[in-house]
Amino acid sequence: MNSNSKPTALVTGASSGIGKAIAKRLIEDGYHVYVAARSIDRMQDLASLGAVPLRMDISNEDEITAAVRTITGQSGGVDVLVNNAGFGLYGPVEEITIDEARYQFEVNLFGAARLTQLLLPAMRARRSGTIVNITSMGGKIYTVLGAWYHATKHALEGWSDSLRLELEPFGIRVVVVEPGQIETGFGDAASRGLVERSGDGPYGARARKVAKSMDEAYGHCKGSDPRVIADVVSKAVRSARPMTRYAAGKYAKPMIWVRKWLGDRMFDRLIKSQM
């Protein structure tokens, strides 16, 4: 789509972790890559590799539309969209405010949906393109005190499946990638917020146990390198017929399998035993 004839990609949440690794891999694969996040400074390493950094808070309509205007003006649109931006909100349903829950949905679901809406017309006109939605093994399983986070990831899974069917006639592929435990700082941020919010309330004992289990899981047991997910995305976008979803990274495949076949009560016991 762009003037230098390279295929074009946009990766959101590219300032760290999985998003940064995906952006680096797509640059290596020969894409003209736009990278988006709230902090331009944290994407300067990607700029030095040839990426074009864009400031974009995925929950901000004005910043989303401004980024799309820049991309369409310079490149006509994108061949690959990687919706990666997201975060994990942990805490009791009773204690998380509805405004906080709405913001979790704005970042993890509605921001990706709005960005997709704005970039689809150019893809549809060309009758080609790939949309990769980074969900989580958390879109197939659940954990204690993670109701709002899991709700967004389950929603993104279902949204992606329906989107895949409606875009198929236009030659546009929709792929879901479900990371497991990845070294991204996710656990530290989620556990810290959980203790700050609920450590001393009526759910305090459980909140502290969940936070401790997160710290142990992400501190003592290293997760997979983010490049594992970058490799999966690279494989999917280069494939003539990609799979509809890929589970990758530590624990992803076994946890999704166990959830599917054990049933609710057995899975409940498994999750509680991790505390």
**Residues noted as catalytic:** 149
Compute CA distances 165 → 134, 155, 162, whole Å.
18, 16, 5
Tokens of 226: 């983010």
Rg of the chain over Cα atoms, rounded to whole angstroms, equals 19
Beta carbons within 10 angstroms of residue 156's beta carbon: 23
Partners of 163 in the β-ladder: none
d(CA 41, CA 273): 41
Partners of 246 in the β-ladder: 177
Instruction: Classify 4 in phi/psi space as left (phi over 0), alpha (psi -120 to 50) or beta.
Output: alpha
Token match 């990426």: residue? 51
d(CA 132, CA 158): 14
